Amino acid sequence: MSYERISHSITEPMKGMSSGMKQVSRLSIREQLVLNVLWFSINLQYAALLPVVIPTQILLFVPSGSGQVGDAQQATFLGWLSTIASVISLCMPPLVGTLSDHTTLKFGRRRPYIAIGGLLLLCSTPFLVSSINVFIFLIGLSLLHLGNNVLTPAYQSLVPDLVPKDQRGEASGYVGGMTILGNVASLGLAAILLGGTNQNSYSRSVIRAHASIYYIVGAIGLVLAILITLVFVRERPHATEKSSLESGERFLTRFARWFEHGWKTPWHSYNFVVVFLTRSSIMLGLALFMTYVEYYFARVQHITNFVQVTAIVAVLALGGGVVSGVIFGILSDHLKRRAPVVCVATLCMSLASLAFVITSANLINWLWPLGVVFGLGYGAYTSVDWALSVDALPSLEEAGESLGVWNATMNLPAIIAPLLGSLIINIADRFGQIALGYRLVFLVASIFLIVAAISVLFVREKQEKQA
């Protein structure tokens, strides 16, 4: 790619859409579906990894010393594996966001990076499929995270680029709906392929073969969705003026200035800071919940077919979220404030997480309806959250930079949560109370969700809309 064509100056302050970009028009249902179909495939590939697929594959690398699935060694290995893979791609979102904001290729600002990220995701598949040892598996997992963190910052910037303000809630509903449908499909696929794994007996060759099928199906879905996005999503022309000062600058000098600007500017916005911290807290709670839920069923609830139960509970939860995601996304365009919806939705998720803390083995059936409550809250949250986040951006012109920084709300929790969870479980295990350790993990997750539910009410939506 020719970086000489990346020549947009960011020295002048911008508010909203600049004259260099055409006024966006309303999107039809078909255009909304085409724009958001890649969210389905991203989540088809990703959603079941942490709660189902990776914990099951760890049985291949770390046999249980106690004879029970979910011991302290496996929980620690899961935590470190997830953390190392996430750290490798931590800085990619702001880098890609900054580059895409200042790219002026005919192919578009965002689509070149969607193509590069998709290629990296595909390159991870052979390593994940042929992971005969943990080193090869870590390479594949790192490439997967790296590709996702190149593709996602560019792809998510298409929403503020192409969606008018009065359709943000509706578009957010489609984002949430496609995300949850991808989650359901991913978890359903994992349940079919790995549901036969149980505590009494499991075949290492079956786990390896069926996990490989999961990765291949996810890669195929991703290729199809990327092709649809690259071919049918048309980016708006982005005109730029090239000053004589900037034309003489080296690319690295310009990029360093862009990147510094991209990191500093969002933090001057009160709403961006509040939404960033709120979403970080929510993602930290969800990451703790999703990382250890499979081992919780195995070790605390002593469920034999723990993989299948994990997937079924997740599918039930997310199934309820599909409807609430679309409905609340559309309704949020007609509400004076989106933050109260996020607050109530987050409280629903915290209620479900608290149930895992207090539910005993003989009350396990109560987790099924609470799973649906979690799904309804999660669906409402994922739809309205996106619209609220776009509303909080300091500038739509530089959405890629701000959303790149905002992406840290997903990457940092992905690093912190596994380490925090494994620390809690290991401390509890030293006192012979590993089951209590898993319950404490879900208690901490609930606390993060409750703090986020309260914090989001401090977003100044009314002032932002009047400005």
Tokens describing residue 313? 């509970």
Per-residue tens of pLDDT for the chain, all 467 residues:
333 333 333 233 333 333 344 556 788 888 889 999 999 999 999 888 888 899 889 888 887 665 677 778 888 888 888 787 777 667 777 778 777 777 777 778 888 999 999 999 999 999 999 888 888 998 998 899 889 888 988 888 887 788 887 787 777 778 877 888 898 899 889 989 988 887 777 788 889 999 999 999 999 999 999 999 999 988 866 555 444 444 445 555 655 655 565 566 667 778 778 888 888 888 898 888 888 888 888 888 888 888 888 888 777 777 667 667 667 766 766 766 778 878 888 888 888 888 888 877 666 677 677 777 887 887 778 767 766 776 766 666 655 566 666 666 677 887 888 889 999 999 999 998 998 999 999 999 999 999 988 988 888 765 444 33
Q: Please give the radius of gyration of the chain, using alpha carbons only, rounded to the nearest integer.
A: 22
Q: How far apart are CA 198 and CA 287, in angstroms?
A: 24
Cα angle for residues 190, 407, 327 (degrees, 5° grid): 65
243 lies in a domain? no
Classify the C-alpha dihedral 369-372-377-378 as positive or negative.
Answer: positive
Question: Max Cα separation, the chain?
Answer: 74
301 lies in a domain? yes
108: three-class secondary structure by DSSP: strand
365: three-class secondary structure by DSSP: helix
Work out the burial of residue 231: count CB atoms within 10 Å of its CB; fewer than 13 is exposed, 13-18 middle, 19 or more buried: exposed
Q: Which domain holds residue 320?
A: 25-238+249-466
Asked if residue 311 lies in contact with residue 417, where contact means CB atoms within 8 angstroms, the answer is no
142 lies in a domain? yes
C-alpha distances (whole Å) from 124 to each of 119, 128, 138 are 9, 6, 10
Of 189, 186, 206, residue with least CA distance to 197 = 206
Q: How far apart are CA 15 and CA 13, in angstroms?
A: 7
- In angstroms, the first-to-last Cα distance of the chain is 39
CATH label of the domain that carries residue 184 = 1.20.1250.20
Q: How far apart are CA 435 and CA 301, in angstroms?
A: 9
C-alpha distances (whole Å) from 381 to each of 105, 175, 334 are 35, 11, 16
Query: What pLDDT was estimated at residue 14?
Result: 33
Q: Please give the tally of structural domains in the chain.
A: 1
9 lies in a domain? no
Of 237, 255, 252, residue with least CA distance to 9 = 255
Neighbours of 77 (CB within 10 A): 17
292 lies in a domain? yes
12 lies in a domain? no
6 lies in a domain? no
379 lies in a domain? yes
Asked if residue 466 lies in contact with residue 109, where contact means CB atoms within 8 angstroms, the answer is no
